Structure 1
Amino acid sequence: MAANSDGKDYNAYLDSWNYYKLHGFKTETIFIPHSRSEEPVTSNMDISTGHIVLSYMEDHLKNKDRLDQEWEALCAYEADPASTKVASDPANARKNRYSDILPYDHSRVVLISAANVSGSDYINASTIMDHDPRNPAYIATQGPLPHTVADFWQMIWEQGSVVIVMLSKMTENGEAMCHRYWPEEGSDLYHIYEVHLVSEHIWCDDYLVRSFYLKNLQTNETRTVTQFHFLTWPDLGVPSSIKALLDFRRKVNKSYRGRSCPIAVHCSDGCGRTGTYTLVDMVINRMTKGAKEIDIAATLEHIRDQRMNMVKTKEQFQFALAAVAEEVNAILKALPQ
């Protein structure tokens, strides 16, 4: 069951997975010709706001001094509150991939300890709110470690996430970035969560899409979860193609449209690439919903209030500006003049 190459059947394809609940099924790898880009979605973007934002971003991208000043101000910004007492607890230390990247107490994802394999409520993950403090828009998290995979799936289940965005490879330059948290084929059991790999869709050289069945063996409930895996974004760097990342983001949002659950986003540390993707997605979403004022730096500060070090390098911030500018430009061209 392959989606067609232009993605029109993709949502219908997602819905059709219920078939697999009732029938035996086998993992399939599908190569999908990448015949054309995903088009920008229908937008309610205010045209004058679009032009103002485009002018602002192009100015920053052309004016190195202005970009340097903005980045210096962002680096000097300090989140408040910024306590990481729970993450720093010796009992939780081994669950952190990096000792200097920890979730804040006020925004950390809290697991149900009674359902946890080690009786803990801790995972190195942060909820990221946009406007609605009751509903997180994202979960920013580190790439799972071998001993935190069950915690990861517990988080996905309890937070109701049905979309995972993975932005790193498993290893880069000989260093482990993320433990494989899904079966290579068939199904694996992670504590009380059974994960079945339904299919793997290779869309292009830059990314692929995997579909999973996630089953809670305590309740016998099942859900479908889609993982979008971007393959060509180096650690501490930026993708070589803005267009590839924007196409990837549109495909993520196409499958996610109409849902109210948070998107789980991770790279290795859950900050650099994760923060950059989150910033780009949040800003474009705000604009397409008709926001009259957009402040990219203030939006990043808002994200950094909820997880430390989101967007780790000036190059990543510059890439985010360029990506937003390119998407805004595409939307403006598509709008009736």
Structure 2
Amino acid sequence: MKSKVIPLPARYTGTESVKFLALTVVSILCIMGVLLGSGLMYCLRHRSHHKLKEKLTNLGADATAEATATYQELCRQRMAVRTTERPEPLHTHTHTHTSRISSVSSQLSDGPSPSPSARSSTSMWSEEPAQSNMDISTGHMILSYMEDHLKNKNRLEKEWEALCSYQAEPNTCTVGLKDQNSKKNRSDTVIVYDHSRIALKVENNHGNSDYINASPIMDHDPRNPAYISTQGPLPSTVADFWQMVWESGCVVIVMLTPVMENGVKQSYQYWPDEGSNLYHIYEVNLVSEHIWCEDFLVRSFYLKNLQTNETRTVTQFHFLTWMNQSVPDSARTLLDFRRKVNKCYRGRSCPIIVHCRQV
């Protein structure tokens, strides 16, 4: 028997072809509409940015109120973009060596860098992210200064001349010049004023004295100094120095002089080479010492008050190449040093003690 192939009915073929063609046309029209809309939006944004860029370039020459309004609008747009963005957290990179590495390096490091030497340490500070954008009030202050500079071309020169001719108001230094205190000064020409000096607690002092050659440096809050400026300790004033560190709540010391320069001692070494030393009622234990580069190193101390049995961790940043009556050879190294000091700053209640040789 012969089998017959029964053909499929083809009555719907024409209808389906029409539907397919219609869908294709609609899809093409949709794609073209999206492309046209995207192109139009891009052109509008590009034109808007171009106008803002032109206004920004004209701010330097335009010192009118319109320039200030334009700058404010730019600040608002910039701040709006900042609030919508969420930057990824930055992670500090640390080094791993066979020797024990100071945790100060892991907390303060900006990136992997070779370490000539290191000692052990305990965990200390956590980095706080720096602000990456400028607030509007600061921007307005800068803009106002620039506008005034355009009007007064000699302003900076006049300010510098006034700064050079500045003389401090006459103040008394009777406490620092007393017989029992004069031997605590490295120089008779660098004496603290009576009205602005750091006073120690007499009951905790080994010599029953409140004097130390140190002055507070105020910022905006006169109750809490941002810094304490002092001289390099003498062998007879080391206990006074650590008493000031303890009583001022200090956790950061910045030393801007080598211990020895050309055979002359610039500062007494007020910390132990290893282990611990006792200075009156203050026990200082060297926890770590990390050499960052040829110019500076970081030490970590464990400070204990034997009278109260309280303890505290103190970090010392020691700049090695700032010689007496000279300036550092590398500005970049000094800025790197300053950045690492700032990462340890704990706020207004903890002033940073800064000393070189005489001040």
Higher RCO (CA-CA < 8 Å; seq separation 6+): 1
Count the aligned residue pairs. Answer: 241
1:231 aligns with 2:320: yes
2:219 counterpart letter in structure 1:
D
Instruction: Give 1:161 shift.
Output: 0.4
Contact residue 275 and residue 285 of structure 2 kept, 8 A: yes
Larger Rg computed on CA atoms: 2
Instruction: Give 1:232 shift.
Output: 1.2
Does the residue aligned with 1:123 lie in a helix, a strand or coil?
Answer: coil
* Matching of residues 105-184 of structure 1 within 5 Å: 105-184=194-273
1:196 aligns with 2:294: no
C-alpha change, 1:50 and 1:199, in structure 2 (3 Å) is: farther
Instruction: Determine the C-alpha separation between the residues in 2 that align with 1:101 and 1:53.
Output: 36
1:2 aligns with 2:101: yes
Instruction: Determine the C-alpha separation between the residues in 2 that align with 1:169 and 1:66.
Output: 39
2:186 pairs, out of 97, 100, 114, with 97
Instruction: Give 1:2 shift.
Output: 2.6
Question: When the two structures are superposed, what TM-score results if normalisation uses the length of structure 1?
Answer: 0.64
* Matching of residues 217-228 of structure 1 within 5 Å: 217-228=306-317
Residue in 2 aligned with 1:243? 332
Instruction: Determine the C-alpha separation between the residues in 2 that align with 1:4 and 1:43.
Output: 26
C-alpha change, 1:42 and 1:172, in structure 2 (3 Å) is: same
Instruction: Give 1:238 shift.
Output: 1.2
C-alpha change, 1:49 and 1:122, in structure 2 (3 Å) is: same
Instruction: Determine the C-alpha separation between the residues in 2 that align with 1:125 and 1:163.
Output: 16
Contact residue 3 and residue 10 of structure 1 kept, 8 A: no
Does the residue aligned with 1:224 lie in a helix, a strand or coil?
Answer: strand
C-alpha change, 1:194 and 1:235, in structure 2 (3 Å) is: same
C-alpha change, 1:132 and 1:44, in structure 2 (3 Å) is: farther
What whole-Å deviation, never above 9, does each CA across 1:184-205 have from its counterpart, x for those lacking one? Answer: 1000000000000000011111
Structure 2: give runs of 5+ residues left out of the alignment: 1-99, 110-116, 121-126
What whole-Å deviation, never above 9, does each CA across 1:309-329 have from its counterpart, x for those lacking one? Answer: xxxxxxxxxxxxxxxxxxxxx
What whole-Å deviation, never above 9, does each CA across 1:80-126 have from its counterpart, x for those lacking one? Answer: 35211111111100000011001111110000011111110000000
Instruction: Give 1:73 shift.
Output: 3.5
Contact residue 210 and residue 226 of structure 1 kept, 8 A: yes
Instruction: Determine the C-alpha separation between the residues in 1 that align with 2:260 and 2:157.
Output: 32
C-alpha change, 1:143 and 1:55, in structure 2 (3 Å) is: farther
* Matching of residues 302-317 of structure 1 within 5 Å: none
What whole-Å deviation, never above 9, does each CA across 1:157-209 have from its counterpart, x for those lacking one? Answer: 00010000000001222222100000010000000000000000111111100
Q: Deviating runs (4+, > 6 A) in structure 1?
A: 51-57, 65-69
Contact residue 128 and residue 138 of structure 1 kept, 8 A: yes
C-alpha change, 1:88 and 1:215, in structure 2 (3 Å) is: same
1:268 counterpart letter in structure 2:
R
Instruction: Determine the C-alpha separation between the residues in 1 that align with 2:210 and 2:171.
Output: 19
1:186 pairs, out of 275, 284, 291, with 275
Instruction: Determine the C-alpha separation between the residues in 2 that align with 1:143 and 1:125.
Output: 10
C-alpha change, 1:233 and 1:50, in structure 2 (3 Å) is: farther
Moved more, 75-84 or 232-241: 75-84
Residue in 1 aligned with 2:298? 209
Instruction: Determine the C-alpha separation between the residues in 2 that align with 1:98 and 1:2.
Output: 39
Moved more, 66-75 or 156-165: 66-75
1:198 counterpart letter in structure 2:
V
Instruction: Give 1:44 shift.
Output: 5.1
Residue in 1 aligned with 2:352? 263
Q: Percent identity?
A: 60
Instruction: Give 1:30 shift.
Output: 4.0
2:107 counterpart letter in structure 1:
D
C-alpha change, 1:49 and 1:237, in structure 2 (3 Å) is: farther
Contact residue 102 and residue 118 of structure 2 kept, 8 A: no
Instruction: Determine the C-alpha separation between the residues in 2 that align with 1:51 and 1:30.
Output: 48
1:73 counterpart letter in structure 2:
A
* Matching of residues 26-45 of structure 1 within 5 Å: 29-30=118-119, 41-43=130-132, 45=134
What whole-Å deviation, never above 9, does each CA across 1:48-84 have from its counterpart, x for those lacking one? Answer: 6557879999xxxxx9x99887555334322235211
Instruction: Give 1:248 shift.
Output: 0.8
Structure 1: give runs of 5+ residues left out of the alignment: 12-27, 32-37, 58-62, 271-337
